[in-house]
Structure 1
Amino acid sequence: MSPALVSPARVGLDIGGTKIHGIAIGPDGAVLAEERAATTPGAEGVVKSAATVVASLRDALDDGEISSIGVGIPGIVDTRAGTVKHAVNLGLDGDAFPLAELLGARAGAVVTLENDTNAATLGAHAVEDVDDLVYLSLGTGLAAGLYLNGALRRGFHGAAGEVGHLPVDPEGPVCGCGQRGCLELVASGAALAAAWPTAAGHPAAALFAAATAGDPAAVTVRDRFADGVAAAVRALALAVDPERVVIGGGVATVGEPLREAIAAALVRQTEASPFLASLELASRLRVVSAAPVAAIGAALITPTKD
């Protein structure tokens, strides 16, 4: 009897400023192996760190076969050229860096790049199993990925979903983008950490725990943060009217209390508008706090064909 054929695994890498999270998935989408490692910044460091994670995943597989490597990475990504630029937190802040070519040569497989939020959006689509959704990432910044009518929407300049840079306060502080009073200065992981600093642990977890315990100051900060996220949800819903809004990113580790706070903010914000209330925005919310959607989405990236 001949041995059963085993399909090669697909690898997904979620490359962040501090760590790389890698997974290998089989043809059925099941996670076969998982690995995390610290990110070494700089051109050589990022390539070497990523290649090390791929090697560890390959060693963990029964046959060591990998069909493709998908990479989700912050910055401006040219998916066809396989380059990334303006990934400042990775030390890749110069010209377009040919990460796909260099990592592919080091890892021995075809590499395809995607913006990290878009990769996570693909993962959210896989986990939620709906063909019309917005993925709202509450990380260091605030950004959204759009998966509409069964396809990822990147935008003409790759800027679709940059809802964090909607100015909401003309008298507010200057954002890193150069505008004043942007939404991510209120509704992002960095904004939350600045409003509720902690000596140890995750600021979001500390804030929500304190608010649940009845700390009035924590309740105020939590509700202001939730109002900002709800404003982003409203803007996205009015722009593209998705079936589902999936909340992810570092703040999403809070889980259900985060969803409840955003839902309550949406209800408050729509009370005076029968039109907005009829859209039932709160009922569309989901929070992904456990599934590694960014790495899953990276593994599902389809290699670009010219």
Structure 2
Amino acid sequence: MSDVRVGLDIGGTKIHGIAIGPDGVVLAEERVATTRGPEGVVTSAAAVVAALRASLDGDVIRSIGAGIPGIVDTRAGTVKHAVNLGLDGAAFPLAELLGARAGAVVTLENDTNAATLGAHAVEDVDDLVYLSLGTGLAAGLYLGGALRRGFHGAAGEVGHLPVDPEGAVCGCGQRGCLELVASGAALASAWPTTTGHPAAALFAAATEGDPAAIAVRDRFATGVAAAIRALALAVDPERVVIGGGVAAIGEPLREAIAVALTEQAETSPFLASLELASRLRVVSSAPVAAIGAALITPQRTPRTPIRMKD
């Protein structure tokens, strides 16, 4: 009998759960369709935990970490503005409610940050940027051996960097944000398909030589490269890991982004010296979001501030 960590990747369509043993081995996996709304999310997540517990051979679940989209208060264990999950009201106490249902301590984290922790564990480097190419565009920062959330929890929101003052209005209220060019939603809009994944269809068509597909692919890759360049110039990470739904494309995606980065550096010896293309990795198979969630630990009590004596 041993202690097991459970990680939950809570998404709008499914919840992916894994159980990891003390030696780092994934002992079990489970996927359950997500039911929207406060009760639905709690019930769906608890069902994943119950299925994982049933598959373990007497092992005890020591902790549960959950990565979830939205604005997460890691200390309070609450989430708000998780629109795709039907949690768009006041801060929802998911950690408390799920913990009571699952019979273990639950710690919440933003889903991109959880995936960043997972990418760190898989890549085994202490200085990386995780760029999530999902419905939106967001980055997680793991710098100097620690996750960087930012003062307001907005570190890595590179998708809302305005790059085109004449562009369309973004959902955030700004105009011409990078997310409108370099995200899964932007790609699906530019290359709609009725069968399969838009990114897979686009890259397949581009590989076959379709000029329109090549143009859409290259525009998308150029946008992603711009995000990587901005992040690299801001924090200069050892590695840039690409994840999210579009990352299922694998090596062709990495190659397209690498070509765009190389082209952007052709007129700049400074950019060329940074060798950004060589830092790229694509995570297409490892469940980094669930792995990272399993590695989340409860927040420590804040230390007492130090001040000078009056």
TM-score bracket, shorter-length normalisation: over 0.9
Deviations 1:87-122 (A, max 9, x none): 000000001000000000000000000000000000
Within the alignment, does 1:187 sit opposite 2:187 as a pair? no
Q: Partner residue of 1:299?
A: 294
Find out whether 1:130 has 2:87 as its counterpart: no
TM-score, normalisation: structure 1: 0.98
Partner in structure 1 of residue 91 of structure 2:
96
How many aligned positions are there?
301
How far did residue 305 of structure 1 move? 2.8
Partner of 2:68: 73
Partner of 1:223: 218
Q: Distance in 2 between matches of 1:187 and 1:305?
A: 36
CA offsets, 1:116-169, max 9 Å, x none? Answer: 000000000000000000000000000000000000000000000000000000
Mapped pair 1:53 → 2:18: no
| 2:187 and 2:220 in contact (8 A); partners too | yes
Out of 166, 169, 176, which is 1:174 matched to?
A: 169
Q: Partners of 2:23 and 2:120 in 1: how far apart?
A: 15
Q: Distance in 1 between matches of 2:80 and 2:214?
A: 39
Q: 2:38 aligns with which of 26, 43, 56?
A: 43
CA displacement at 1:64 relative to structure 2: 4.4
Residue deviations 1:159-189, cap 9 Å, x none? 0000000000000000000000000000000
User: Residue in 1 aligned with 2:240?
Assistant: 245
Distance 1:293 1:133 in 2: 14
2:217 partner letter: R
Does the residue aligned with 1:48 lie in a helix, a strand or coil? helix
2:290 matches 1:288:
no
Residue 193 of structure 2 aligns to a residue in which SS?
coil
SS state at 1:34 partner: strand
Residue 258 (structure 2) aligns with:
263
Shift of 1:296: 0.2
The whole-number CA distance in structure 1 between the counterparts of 2:225 and 2:62 is 40
Counterpart residue number, 1:32: 27
The SS at the match of 1:174 is: coil
Residue 278 (structure 1) aligned to one of 273, 279, 285: 273
Could you list the runs of 5+ residues in structure 2 that have no partner in the other structure?
302-310
1:256-302 superposed Cα distances (whole Å, 9 cap, x missing partner): 00000000000011100000000000000000000000000000001
- Could you say what secondary structure the match of 2:40 adopts? helix
Is 2:112 aligned against 1:117? Answer: yes
- The superposition leaves residues 52-73 of structure 1 with CA deviations (integer Å, 9 ceiling, x where unpaired) of 0000000010014100000000
- Separation in structure 2 between the aligned mates of residue 29 and residue 123 of structure 1, nearest angstrom: 12
Work out whether residues 15 and 45 of structure 2, in 8 Å CA contact, stay in contact via their aligned partners in 1.
yes
Amino acid at match of 2:119: A
Q: Is the 8 A contact 2:2 2:59 kept in 1?
A: no
The answer as to whether partners of 2:239 and 2:279 remain within 8 angstroms in 1 is yes
2:159 — aligned with what? Answer: 164
Query: What's the secondary structure of 1:205's corresponding residue?
Result: helix
Matched position secondary structure for 1:260 = helix
Of the structure 1 ranges 249-258 and 58-67, higher mean CA displacement relative to structure 2 is found in 58-67
Cα distance in 1 for residues equivalent to 2:199 and 2:53? 35
Q: Which amino acid aligns with 1:188?
A: S
Deviation of residue 21 (structure 1)?
Answer: 0.4
- Give the Cα–Cα distance (whole angstroms) in 2 for the partners of residues 121 and 60 of structure 1: 27
